Amino acid sequence: MQLASHDLDKVDASSDGLASCSTCAFAGIRTARVSVVVEVMHLINPTNTRGETLFSLLEEVSPGLVTPIPVAGPRHYAQVLAPEGQVDYIRGLLRDIGKKRGKKRKIQLKVQDVYYFDSDSE
């Protein structure tokens, strides 16, 4: 399907956050928030006795700056749901933690899943 071109000068953001344009093919479409499930490797031991998780590490080193959400599953200790825009910041935090702990292996952060949320939903 090919979309017809439209006049971008006529696009205005209304007070409810919706784009309005009489010639726009996307009139009335809300923006989406993108969140991702990220997983860290080579930092947290799955059999750790301290009960350490990726969520608890991020809360400890950056309280309030990062907004991760714990996830359930077999590797729950190494995964969090976070806004897409915070992935690079989280990667930097985890590299710093690895350096402080003297980890010899490179800390890796993988994006496992991507979720799109309506900007008005939680």
Domain identity same for 92 and 69: yes
Domain identity same for 20 and 71: no
Q: Does the model's pTM come out above 0.75?
A: no
Domain identity same for 46 and 36: yes
Strand, coil or helix: 94: helix
Domain identity same for 81 and 98: yes
**pLDDT tens-digit series, residues 48-58:** 878 899 999 99
Phi, psi of 38 (to 5 degrees): -110, 145
Domain identity same for 111 and 71: yes
Domain identity same for 24 and 36: no
- Where does the pLDDT of residue 77 fall: very low under 50, low under 70, confident under 90, or very high at 90 and above? very high
Domain identity same for 23 and 38: no
Q: Which domain holds residue 86?
A: 32-118
The mean per-residue pLDDT over the stretch 86-115 comes to: 89
Q: Give the whole-angstrom CA distance, residue 56 versus residue 77.
A: 9
Closest CA to 91 of 39, 14, 18, 19: 39
Closest CA to 84 of 17, 29, 38, 31: 38
Domain count, the chain: 2
Structure tokens belonging to residue 77: 């200790």
SS in 3 state form for 12-55?
EECCCCCEECCCCCCCCCCCEEEEEEEEEECCCCCCCCCCCCHH
**pLDDT tens-digit series, residues 5-34:** 333 333 334 444 444 444 555 555 566 688
Quote the pLDDT of residue 121.
Answer: 53
Report the CATH number that the domain containing residue 99 is assigned in CATH.
3.30.70
